[in-house]
Amino acid sequence: MQLNDSGLLQTQGFIDGQWRSAMSGKTFEVINPATGALLAEVADMGAAETREAIEAAENAMQSWKALPAKARCDILERWFDLIIAAQEDLAQLMTAEQGKPLAEARGEVAYGAAYLKWFSEEGKRVYGDVIPQQSDRRGLVIKQPVGVVAAITPWNFPNAMITRKVAPALAVGCAVVLKPAAETPLSALALAELAKRAGLPDGLFNIVTGLDAPAIGGEMTGSKIVRKVTFTGSTPVGKLLMRQCADTVKRTSMELGGNAPVIIFDDADLELAVNGAIAAKYRNSGQTCICSNRLLVQAGIYDKFVEKFAEKVKAFNVGNGALDGTTHGPLITTKAVNDVHSKVLDAIDGGACVVTGGKPGAQGAHFYEPTVLTNVHSGMRVFREEIFGPVAPVFKFDTEAEAIAMANDTEFGLASYVYTENMGRIFRVSEALEYGMVGVNETAISSELIPFGGVKESGQGREGSKYGLNDYLETKYICLGGLNRA
């Protein structure tokens, strides 16, 4: 890994503006999933460091929230500029620790930075209301920062899952304590270095790195100072955190698992549908929460779709994401490879046909072959569970009603996609899908401009767009009385 700016490779935690080793002196290893090479040894912190970070955040927030919004937002904008200037280094770091191809990593850095730019603008528009009343009083409604925010983020988007939480929180006057995933702490720490250079005051953005997630998460959720927990990750951990937050009645934002259907009707533009389904399924080697999990294809175009889809999958160039020409990288861990393979074996046991792939990849311990399965049904794990790997089960349906029923037959409700050229059907199906997001003839649906989030067990709250600010704001009502006195 060759960085132009070696200051971006940080291996200590970041508390109150200082780089800090763990109190125990312990470290943990960060591994390149493509090669198995040791990249860094990072501070292995726990509950005590988390407590310090929370206290630092509370102190720092007092003057931060009192600043005019523009002063806060100017710093976020400088942070954005520094991230864009460091895009190549940040992409190299990300590919090294996460595995995604460099082109995807560069894209994520730009996507992640865009949240800072967006919220540096939106943070100046935290408007309230004046409520008209008939008596001698008026009601004012103002919005205030929710308080100290604890954020826990996953490894699949090591940059953007952080900025989409931290940017709105800081913009409205909150301070943040972040626990990044232990697989990918380097991208998070590089962001902190750039925040410091952008002039973000000490204590507003703290990073606690560590392997003991339950200890760090327990301290965050148990703290009376922390007023909000924002989490992106698996549904079981999200539920656990919500339970832990109940004792102090904290607000939560949860961006959890998905089981996205891509519904492709006979009247779809086949080329568009194949390309969209490929992108939605195999981006980040299938490791995104809005990756299509289930391809639902109408009987009339099923065979043609499978043929074209599999042809493209066979042309992928799987390998080390840092090398030119690699289209798809490794999975994050061997555990991930085993999880994916067990779901494929379950499908094969149930009668699925393997059109291509179907086993761990030859490139190394973290690789899985891009896979296409047919002859699949709703009793299989690939229908019911989030696959989180490069495996596309293609299900067949006959009618629109059947497609909607299959799509909604899950406890998840994050992203869904529909391909059709029929305007009436676009509205009918979009409105019937029990999902937070619907892509119509499009699968690249995410950006800083839109409210990202799910329903049912996929979570609550929205990230990005004007709605993304609400997750970090409290609404206060002020009653002005006695206005009719002369």
Give the footprint of ligand ADP on this chain (CB under 6 A).
152-154, 179, 181-182, 213-214, 217, 233-234, 237, 240
Q: Tell me whether residue 118 or residue 155 sits nearer to ligand ADP (CB atom).
A: 155
Q: Tell me whether residue 120 or residue 206 sits nearer to ligand ADP (CB atom).
A: 206
| Residue 305 main-chain phi, psi, to 5 deg | -60, -50
Catalytic residue among 255, 386, 448, 463: 255
Instruction: Give residue number: closest CB to ligand ADP.
Output: 217
Least distance (Å) between residue 465 CB and ligand ADP: 23
Q: 154 with 237: CB under 8 angstroms? A: no
Least distance (Å) between residue 45 CB and ligand ADP: 12
82's CB contacts (< 8 A; 6+ apart) are 194, 197, 198
Q: 83 with 109: CB under 8 angstroms? A: yes
Least distance (Å) between residue 178 CB and ligand ADP: 9
Catalytic residue among 104, 289, 386, 448: 289
Q: Tell me whether residue 50 or residue 298 sits nearer to ligand ADP (CB atom).
A: 50
* 255 tagged catalytic: yes
Least distance (Å) between residue 205 CB and ligand ADP: 16
Least distance (Å) between residue 333 CB and ligand ADP: 9
Instruction: Calculate the dihedral angle through the C-alpha atoms of 235, 237, 238, 242, rounding to the nearest 10 degrees.
Output: 140
Q: Tell me whether residue 172 or residue 207 sits nearer to ligand ADP (CB atom).
A: 207
For the chain, first and last CA: distance in Å? 74
* 289 tagged catalytic: yes
Q: Tell me whether residue 237 or residue 407 sits nearer to ligand ADP (CB atom).
A: 237
Residues annotated as catalytic are 255, 289
